[in-house]
Structure 1
C-alpha cells in the first residue's frame, strides 16, 4: 500500500509505502528534509502531522513524548504513514543537497591523539573526486550489515576531495572502534556511503555564530569553522569545546590558533571533571551551561551543536526555553554509539 505525503508549506508531494519511513521516502524522491541520526534520537527531522495518522515507529519517550504526539509532532526518520498525510516540515533547498553514493575507501593514516581518540584518514577513489558539505558525515558499512557514522573533519572542495579525516573515539566493547585501535592496518579497505546529514552552515544569515562541541563532536565543528576561514566569512564565531579532562580536548592548540590569528573568533574550552593532573585554570562545568552564562539572550545568534546526545538535547532545551534562542536557529548533529541506538551495552 502506497500513500501520498504532502509537505507544508511547499506543497511538494511524493509517494510513501506503509513500511517506509516518511523521511527516507522524501529523500529518495529528491527532496531535502532536515535529518541527522536517522535513529529517532537527535530530533533534527521532527515535523508536525497536520492531517492524517502515522505509526510513530517505537521512538523512546525521551525523544518524542506523549505531549509531543498530542501536538502532532513526529520524528520523520521513524514515522510511517497509515494513510495520506500532510506534514509541516522545514524543507531545505534541494540545490543544497548532494546525493549520497557508495564507494570503497582505503586507510591512509592513523594518528592517535589521545588515549581514546584516533584520527583516521581515508583515501577515496582517485578517478571520482567526492563532494560534501562542511559538517556532514559518512557511514562505514560493516560486513555484518551494520553501519558506523562519523563526521568528516576536513574542509570540502568545489572540485571534490580525495581524502577524508575522521575523529574516532574508542568505545568500550564497540566492535568497530576496538578494531580501529587494535587491528586496523594501513591500506585496509572499507566501504562507505557519503555525504549524509543536513548539519551545515546556513549562509543566508549574518547572525553571530555559537559553535558547541563535546568530545569528538569537534570534528564537524573543525570542518565548519575552517570552511568559514577559507571563504573569508567575518561573522563573529564563538567556539565552545567541552570535555571531561584536558586530554579530551585533543586539538585545543588548533582551536587556540584560530582565535589567536582571527579577531572574529573566540575559543572557550570547558572541562567537567578536571583533575589535578590537568593543571586547569579555565572554565569548568557543563559546556552548554558555559554558553548560557555568556549568552543569556540568544535571540540574535545561530547555534551549531555537535557531540553526545545528552549535551545536544540539553542545549536545545535550555537555549530555547531559558535563553530565547529561536528553534529554527539551532542546528545539531548528535553522535550516537550503538549503545545509544539500542539502549543496551554494546556487544
Structure 2
C-alpha cells in the first residue's frame, strides 16, 4: 500500500511505497527532510508526529527514547508509515533539490595530513555533472553492500576547474573501510559513490553571525562551506572553533591562515583537549563547545553549524540551547556516526 506524507509547516507532500521508510521516500522524491546517519543511531531525523501511525524498525535509545516515542516523536530514517501521516519537520531543501546519483570515481590523490587523517582526491566522470551543496556528503558503496559516509571538503564551484571530490578520512583501526584506505588503496583505484546526501549546508535567508564548530575531521564540510562563502562573496561574521586531542589533529592550519587573510570577518579559535608538554601548546584547552560558551554566553542572535563526533554535537546542541539561548532552529549539525556507533558499540 502507498500512503501520503505531509510535512508541516512547508506543506510539501509525497508518497511512500509498501515497507519504505519515510526518509527514503522523501529522498527519492526530492523532499528535503533533516537526517544524518540514516541508521537509527544519531537522532538527526527526529520530528513530531502530528497525525497518523508510524512503525519503527531497529534504532538506538539515544536516537529515540521510549518516552519520546510515547510523546509523539518519530525517526523518519527507520519509521514506516502505516497510514497517511502528517509530520512537523523543518524543510531543509527547496523543491528541485540536486539529484542523487551513483557514480564510479577514480582515486587521483592521497596525502597524509596527519598520522591518522588521509586527504583523498576522487576524480569524477568528466561527462557527468555532479551538483551538491557545500557541506553535503557522499556514501561509498562497498562490495558487500555496506556504506560509508564522508563529507565533501571542496566547494561546488571547484567542479568547474576539475570534476573531483576532496574527502578527509580518519583511520579507525579495525575499520573495514579505513583499514583499506590506509593500507591497500592506491591511486587509480576505482570506487563507487552515491550522493549528494544531507541537510548540512549554509542557510542564506539571514545575516546572523555564524559559529562553525568542528571536531577532528568534522572540519571537512565546514571547509567546503567557508570556501563557498568566499566564492559567493558572503561576508557574514563567522568564527571557526576547531577541537582536537593534540595539535596535529588540527591538520589544515595553513589553509585556515590563508582564509583568515582573505576574509576579514572570519576568525579562528583552535582548542586542544589532551595537550602534552612536548606539544608546547599555548592556546585554548578543554572541550571545544565549552570554549564557544566562554566566548559567547548569549547565542540568541547566532547560527551554529556543528560537525564531528556525536558526543561533541549532542553536547553543543544541548548546552547552546539550554544555557546560551540559541534557538533550536538555528542549530545545524552533521554528526560523524561511525560503523561502531551505528552498531551501538
Please give the TM-score of this superposition, normalised by the length of structure 2: 0.95
Superposition pairs for residues 258-269 of structure 1, below 5 Å? 258-269=259-270
2-structure distance, mates of 1:244, 1:46? 30
1-structure distance, mates of 2:170, 2:144? 21
CA contact 2:49–2:87 (8 Å) conserved in 1? yes
User: Against the structure 1 CA distance between its residues 96 and 309, is the aligned structure 2 distance closer, same or farther, given a 3 Å change threshold?
Assistant: farther
Q: C-alpha root-mean-square deviation of aligned residues, in Å?
A: 1.6
- Aligned counterpart, 2:257: 256
CA contact 1:137–1:151 (8 Å) conserved in 2? yes
- What are the Cα deviations for residues 292-328 of structure 1, in whole angstroms up to 9, with x where unaligned? 1111111100000001111111111111111111111
User: Against the structure 1 CA distance between its residues 72 and 99, is the aligned structure 2 distance closer, same or farther, given a 3 Å change threshold?
Assistant: same
- Aligned counterpart, 1:135: 135
SS at 1:304 equivalent: strand
2-structure distance, mates of 1:11, 1:253? 45
SS at 2:108 equivalent: strand
Moved over 4 A (4+): 158-161
1-structure distance, mates of 2:170, 2:38? 20
1:117 to 2:117 alignment: yes
How far does residue 10 in structure 1 lie from its aligned partner after superposition?
3.2
1-structure distance, mates of 2:41, 2:290? 21
- What are the Cα deviations for residues 206-263 of structure 1, in whole angstroms up to 9, with x where unaligned? 0000000000001001000011111111100000000000111111222233224432
How far does residue 30 in structure 1 lie from its aligned partner after superposition?
2.6
- What are the Cα deviations for residues 264-290 of structure 1, in whole angstroms up to 9, with x where unaligned? 011000001001121100000010111
2-structure distance, mates of 1:93, 1:217? 22
Q: Which runs of 5+ in 1 are unaligned?
A: none
Aligned length: 344
Query: Which moved further from structure 2: 87-96 or 137-146?
Result: 87-96
- Aligned counterpart, 2:52: 52
How far does residue 158 in structure 1 lie from its aligned partner after superposition?
8.5
CA contact 1:123–1:163 (8 Å) conserved in 2? yes
1:219 to 2:220 alignment: yes
2-structure distance, mates of 1:155, 1:12? 28
2-structure distance, mates of 1:127, 1:3? 38
Please give the TM-score of this superposition, normalised by the length of structure 1: 0.95
1:152 to 2:170 alignment: no
Superposition pairs for residues 152-301 of structure 1, below 5 Å? 152-157=152-157, 162-301=163-302
1-structure distance, mates of 2:219, 2:34? 21
SS at 1:218 equivalent: helix
SS at 1:258 equivalent: helix
How far does residue 64 in structure 1 lie from its aligned partner after superposition?
1.4
